[in-house]
Chain A
Amino acid sequence: MDYTIEELEKKANILRLDVIEATASAGSGHPGGSLSSADLMAALYFGVMRHDPDDPLWEGRDRFILSKGHAAPVLYAALAESGYFPKEELLTLRKLGSNLQGHPVKGKVPGVEMSTGSLGQGLSMACGMALAGKMDKKDHKIFCLLGDGELQSGQNWEAAMLAHHYHLNNLIAFVDRNRLQITGNTENAMSIDPLSDKWRAFGWNVLIINGHSMVQILEACEKAKMSETNPTMIIMNTVKGKGVSFMEDNYEFHGKASKADETEKALKELGGRIWTE
């Protein structure tokens, strides 16, 4: 089913509402980086990726790896909205016995391709999947979402080298460049700029977009899919906490859920639901 730009934007809004509700219900979690990547997740799961919620292990599917595993709430929201599991389950996030662990776990949740949560590892896993796809002469793509803070971890650059060395043009990665990590500004913690120059120097195609523009996300993905030799890095300039005024550009909501009154306000701002604890 093809969604219009407007419909995809609506999906992104639904994911944002789900993120707020799930983290509020859990009383913990990472809303900031989930909200900043909600537009991308809506684009991927409802516009870009080839996948089948009724057959999560379908061989021809595109694969998505959430390297910034702490944004699990938005991944779970996208999977539930796609129909991989009932949406009610979202409110079990982080609770004892739930499949929705604080960080994604392969095998627990249909549609979760890999266990992540320890930062800096997802791109290597994505490279492995891309290599397997090449070996088997398959045409599916591997998508990987990285946080900007996690690029301080050296393993990413080992993977960056390998992806170029083996010409993994079936690999499409994104950086959620919201410029904040848990202690504050990324450039204060350990500067990662000039970011696009780094990826170019490692031999990647680099696209820089507004990560909250559905049109730009879709266009960039189409372009990346056409790459003939190299992997593509799509640097998405984003706002942490996007869509909720008091979370926007506020590092305090990197790893903190909203309280009851805040939740009410957030849901109202997102044009949505009534909060009942």
Chain B
Amino acid sequence: MDGMKLAQRNYYGKALAELAKKDPNTVVLDADLADSTKTSEFRKAAPGRFIEVGIAEQNMIGVASGLAASGKTVFASTFAVFASGRCWEQIRLAVAYPKLNVKIVATHSGISVGEDGASHQALEDIALMRVLPNMTVISPADAYETYAATMAIAKYNGPVYMRMGRSEVPVVTENDAEFVIGKASVLRQGDDVTLVGTGQMVALCLEAASALLEEGIDAEVINMSTIKPLDKGTLRLSLLKTGCSVTAEEHSIIGGMGAAVAEFLSQEMPVPVEMVGTKDTFGESGAPSELFEKYGLTSKDIEEAAKRALERKKELKG
């Protein structure tokens, strides 16, 4: 751990290479981005089962559907903005509705795409995917978890959307830990406020928790790596203890992980929830760190949100 940073997509590629060896039934599709998504690792290991579809994402999903209907375990990869947006209705009809065994694994999600600008920064993909019936939505926190999640979704028979960013992100999970779909993990225990992060925001939640401790605030940190189905049990246990929450995601606060958490909490155990995420806006070009600053996605933003949540909790009690 200790400050080590690794790119998630490299570990997605590693996992695919492993699957190429282990499972002759695995097929991988890509839309002209294999070197970026790292499906190139699979292409190297099993060229006969790698299908380049060109810049044609809608067709990619239809082809994936036909392969899955023929018994294949299919991974289809491209950038998140294209994977979730360009072919949303294809995913709906050809994958989610017939519940086919297609894993849509998207890289370059979120604002950390950086300099390419808003056209390439998917801040809507979680919302688009989690609204689809039968769809499982996963957003691993780091490279190790990405590897484990890739192996786990390969074993699961059904549609999955998995997102990850472009850049190197801090390692926050254990290497070789098993990934259980639908199971969140508590990375830090605390009594005062629950910080729920997904993707690379988990690392920032941990950073925020350390800073909060210096001010005497004891935060619990949950890695919500499966967004759908939501691990309500883990949330319930934590919120019974802390009574207030912050959600943090590299995604719009509309329809994302925070919204999923709020939907659950507001119906079953209303507690203050503060959301860190982009606020109904597109991104822009810039260095990822500059963008995190400008769009309110830093650990400092999480700290402040935690204090607001605590304040609201106090008001409710008072």
Contacts and interface: CB of A to CB of B under 8 A. Distances in A.
Interface of A: 65, 105-107, 113-118, 121-133, 135-136, 154-155, 158-159, 161-162, 165-166
A129 B62 contact: no
Contact of B67 (A122, A131, A158, A159): A131
Given A118-B89, A161-B54, A162-B53, A155 B97 contact: no
B97 A125 contact: no
B70 A133 contact: yes
Nearest to B68: A128
21 contacts: A106-B69, A106-B97, A107-B99, A115-B97, A123-B62, A124-B94, A125-B66, A126-B66, A127-B59, A128-B63, A128-B67, A128-B68, A128-B69, A128-B70, A131-B67, A132-B67, A133-B70, A135-B49, A155-B58, A155-B90, A159-B62
Interface centre among B61, B66, B69, B72, by most A CB within 10 Å?
Answer: B66
Contacts of A117: 93
A124 B93 contact: no
Given A125-B94, A162-B56, A132 B62 contact: no
A209 to B, nearest CB: 26
Contacts, number: 102
A132 B72 contact: yes
B70 A121 contact: no
Nearest to A108: B98
Nearest to A154: B58
Given A107-B98, A133-B70, A135-B48, A161 B56 contact: yes
B51 interface: yes
A264 to B, nearest CB: 36
Given A127-B59, A155-B59, A158-B59, A121 B67 contact: no
Nearest to B59: A158
B66 A128 contact: yes
B73 to A, nearest CB: 11
Given A129-B67, A162-B54, A121 B72 contact: no
Contacts of A165: 54
Interface of B: 27, 48-49, 51, 53-54, 56, 58-59, 61-72, 89-90, 93-94, 97-99
A165 B98 CA distance: 27
B61 A124 contact: yes
A107 B11 CA distance: 35
Residue from B61, B70, B89 having most chain A Cβ neighbours under 10 A: B70
Among all A-B residue pairs, the 9 with the closest Cβ atoms: A128-B66, A124-B62, A132-B70, A158-B59, A158-B56, A128-B63, A125-B66, A129-B66, A106-B98
A124 B66 CA distance: 7
Given A115-B94, A128-B68, 9 more contacts: A105-B98, A113-B69, A114-B69, A114-B94, A115-B93, A115-B97, A128-B66, A130-B66, A132-B67
Contacts of B72: 132, 135
B64 A128 contact: yes
A210 to B, nearest CB: 30
Given A158-B58, A158-B59, A124 B89 contact: no
A128 B65 contact: yes
Contacts of B48: 135
A161 B89 CA distance: 21
Contact of A129 (B59, B61, B70, B98): B70
